[in-house]
């Protein structure tokens, strides 16, 4: 079943939408969650949460790219779960490593009530930054900080050494930091 048909099922409030989503994108969402979470049970729960979030948000949402939409829901659910786990006991998977790298960008601060609006502004600035990058660099950035792939995985995918990937990501973080400053994004 293709994506428009699946979305149509959501709009018709047919429960088949859930089973079709799990069948078509279950492995994809699982692979995203696995990069953030170590516990298999957490992964399964996060995937279920993401599908439920899709059920609750479509409609009114009508994603133009269902895979990316589901991936984002899954990723955000996994990040929430990892953060909750981290509060209990530090030591999540790739998420912790990425969090350390992101710490270069922003000073640590507690989440405030304006966080949603800030996130929107930051996302807009990041989109602008990504759009300005060459495809390869953009892909590497997104693979690291969206898909939370390890540096080794990225290196294999781009036929680079791990240290070259590490260096490239470091430069990209520095460039993003500069970009956010220029955009007057309040972090």
Partner 1 sequence: MNNDGVIKSIGDIDPEFIKEARPDSRRRLWARVVPAAALALILLIGIFTLPKILWPREGEYTAGLQPTAEPVGAEYGGQDSTPELGSVPGSTYGGDVDYCLRRVTLEEMIAASDLVVHAECTAVGEARKYTFRVMDSYPVSLPESIVLMIPSYHGTSLEGLEYSPKEGDRSILFFVNTPDGEGGTRYTYNGVIRVLDDGTLKNDSISDLADYTYDGLVKALPELAEKLIKTPEN
What gap in Å lies between CA 109 and CA 79, rounded to an integer?
Answer: 17
Give yes or no for residue 84 binding partner 1 (CB under 8 A).
no
Q: In the set 142, 162, 166, 175, which binds partner 1 (CB under 8 A)?
A: 142
Cα→Cα distances 136→43, 159, 169, Å: 29, 12, 12
What is the Cα–Cα distance from 109 to 113, expressed in whole angstroms?
12
Residue 78: CB atoms within 10 Å = 28
CA 57 to chain CA centroid, Å, is 18
By CB under 8 A, is residue 109 in contact with partner 1? yes
**Which range touches partner 1 (CB under 8 A), out of 17-25, 38-46, 48-56, 140-148?**
140-148
Interface residues toward partner 1, by CB under 8 A: 31, 63-65, 67-69, 71-72, 75-76, 79, 83, 95, 98-99, 102-103, 105-106, 108-111, 115, 118-120, 122-123, 126-127, 130-131, 135, 138-143, 145-147, 149, 153, 156-157, 159, 187
């Amino acid at each position: 079943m293709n994506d428009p048909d699946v979305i149509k099922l959501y709009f018709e409030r047919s429960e088949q939408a859930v089973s079709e989503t799990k069948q078509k994108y279950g492995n994809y969402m699982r692979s995203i969650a696995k990069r953030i979470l170590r516990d298999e049970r957490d992964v399964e729960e996060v995937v279920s949460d993401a599908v439920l979030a899709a059920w609750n948000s479509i409609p009114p949402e009508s994603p133009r790219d269902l895979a990316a939409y589901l991936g984002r829901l899954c990723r955000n659910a996994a990040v929430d779960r990892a953060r909750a786990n981290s509060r209990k006991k530090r030591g999540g998977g790739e998420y912790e490593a990425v969090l350390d790298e992101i710490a270069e960008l922003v000073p640590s601060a507690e989440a405030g009530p304006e966080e949603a609006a800030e996130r929107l502004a930051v996302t807009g600035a990041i989109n602008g930054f990504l759009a300005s990058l060459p495809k390869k660099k953009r892909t590497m950035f997104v693979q690291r900080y969206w898909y939370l792939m390890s540096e080794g995985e990225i290196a294999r995918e781009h036929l680079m050494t791990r240290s070259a990937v590490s260096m490239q990501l470091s430069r990209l973080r520095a460039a993003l930091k500069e970009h956010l400053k220029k955009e007057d994004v309040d972090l």
